[in-house]
Amino acid sequence: MNTHITSDFTPDALIIGGGIAGLQSALDLADQDLQVLLVERQASIGGHMIALSKVYPTLDCASCITTPKMSAAAHHPNITILTNTEVEGIDTRDGVHRVRLLQKPTYVNFDKCIGCRLCEYACDTEYPDPFEEGLGAVRAIAVPFTNAIPQKAVLNAEVCGTCGACARVCPTGAIEYDQQPRHLTIHTDAVIVASGFNLNAITVKPQYNAQHSQNIISPLTLERLLAPHGPYGRVLRPSDGKMPGSIAFVQCAGSRDESIGVSYCSRVCCMYAIKQAMLLSGALPLADITIYYMDIRAFGKGYEQFFQNAKAMGINFVRGKVARIHPVEDGDLSLHVETTEDAGNPMQERRHDLVVLAQGMIPGWQPSDVTPVACASDGFVATPALTAPAATTVPGIFVAGTAAGPKDIVDTIAEAGAAAMQASQYLYQKRSAVLVG
């Protein structure tokens, strides 16, 4: 994997974000013989998709689809990848984008590290693993996760106790405790913003009391619980390790609500909740699974059938609004539901021992803070041209995937291909104009 560059490297295109959108755009550009620099702020490429369990609508294993793309990008001769690197800003002048990067120290020399994990086994400091949404434990120096790319150890200075054990066992002398941050400025003709999404805070609706119960979880946490190599190796609830017997999904728990600043629909929650419910019924055959929803938005190809299959599997769908959630004894949760399905009894109290809140999708990064790229009123990158869906307000800067708005993997990949095509066309036209001029 090519990770060496200096400021005199001038790639044809720079891609911000190594999620599935950034990876697809990078591969499509690199296959056209263009030089690509892919910049990812985390320690591994793969974005949110590499942490998912299985994906709707096919129920394919997420890492089985993502890992080959990650690996293809890492081995492509035309792609250079910088991980642990943030984009600090972009200045655009005369059609050239000056991209300022900050490469954070990993305290490990990647040229020497062979990914043997001896350092990780020698370290005795552990902290809640961010890859496992805080449920698992990871050591202060570790290869970020099993199929991370690059397979290199990274030291977390915030938790490191500076005992020196890792450097004592490292067979290649890779550990460099005095590594410093590095600033780089890259000049490029085209940029693709593929900075993805985040979920809004699980506590955004105080009436759901998520801060008062560990058994009110994020859907990303449930993805990890369902993943074959998840933190517990099976589905257990975080408060006490119990196998849950009754699980509730509360839909639109962070979207379609003006009062929390997310008036739009996050588009993927209905479908991933249905998927997760199906996977749960496989993992916990005796569990009772209920989805509380306002309306099910199953708009994609084959999605309605997916919804009907879930109903046929015995998943309970209750149309209504969950007004409040309260923690009760034994770590359980009491849900106050206003349902439209039972006219005689519209206000109901239901008990569950695990609750998943469908948080809203929000932008993963705000480029308008540090670049000339404008964002729309929903906070995602604005795409003003109806006929050029990947174009932003700045010529030569394009957008792909959830950086432009909530969408699922199928739409993200299609858009990433479109962004790569628009970027290569732009480069071709720009360079032909220079030749003609």
150 binds ligand FAD (CB under 6 A): no
- Identified binder of ligand FAD from the candidate list 14, 21, 381, 390, rule CB under 6 A: 21
Helices 20-30 and 409-436 sit at what angle, rounded to 10 degrees? 40
Structure tokens of 352?
Answer: 């569950």
- Residue 249 is classified by DSSP as E
Neighbours of 387 (CB within 10 A): 5
286/434 with CB nearer other proteins: 286
125 binds other proteins (CB under 8 A): yes
Supply the minimum distance, in Å, between the C-beta of residue 179 and other proteins. 9
Burial of 300 (0-12, 13-18, 19+ CB in 10 A): middle
Neighbours of 203 (CB within 10 A): 15
Of residues 213-242, those binding ligand FAD (CB under 6 A): 219-220, 223
Q: Which amino acid is at 158?
A: E
- Alpha-carbon span 2 to 5, nearest angstrom: 9
Binding segment toward ligand FAD, per CB under 6 A, in 46-54, 170-178, 179-187, 388-396: 46-54
Start-to-end CA distance of the chain, whole Å, equals 38
Q: Which does 219 bind (CB under 5 to 8 A by kind): ligand FAD, ligand SF4, other proteins, none?
A: ligand FAD
409 binds ligand FAD (CB under 6 A): yes
Q: List the 347-352 sheet strands across, edge first.
A: 216-217, 354-357, 246-250, 288-293, 316-327, 333-339, 347-352
52 binds ligand FAD (CB under 6 A): yes
164 binds other proteins (CB under 8 A): yes
Residue 82: left if φ>0, alpha if ψ -120 to 50, beta else—which one? Answer: beta
- Identified binder of other proteins from the candidate list 59, 220, 243, 260, rule CB under 8 A: 243
118 binds other proteins (CB under 8 A): yes
Q: Which does 121 bind (CB under 5 to 8 A by kind): other proteins, ligand FAD, ligand SF4, none?
A: other proteins
175 binds other proteins (CB under 8 A): yes
Contact 402, 24 (CB under 8 A): no
381 binds ligand FAD (CB under 6 A): no
* Token pair 């943030």 in the structure block, residue: 86
Contact 268, 257 (CB under 8 A): no
- Alpha-carbon span 189 to 174, nearest angstrom: 35
283 binds other proteins (CB under 8 A): no
240 binds other proteins (CB under 8 A): yes
Sites of contact with other proteins (CB under 8 A): 107, 118, 121-122, 124-126, 128, 135-139, 157-162, 164-165, 167-169, 175-178, 214, 231-234, 236, 238-243, 245
Sites of contact with ligand FAD (CB under 6 A): 16-22, 39-42, 47-49, 52, 55-56, 86-87, 194-197, 219-220, 223, 268, 272, 275, 364-365, 401-402, 407-410, 412
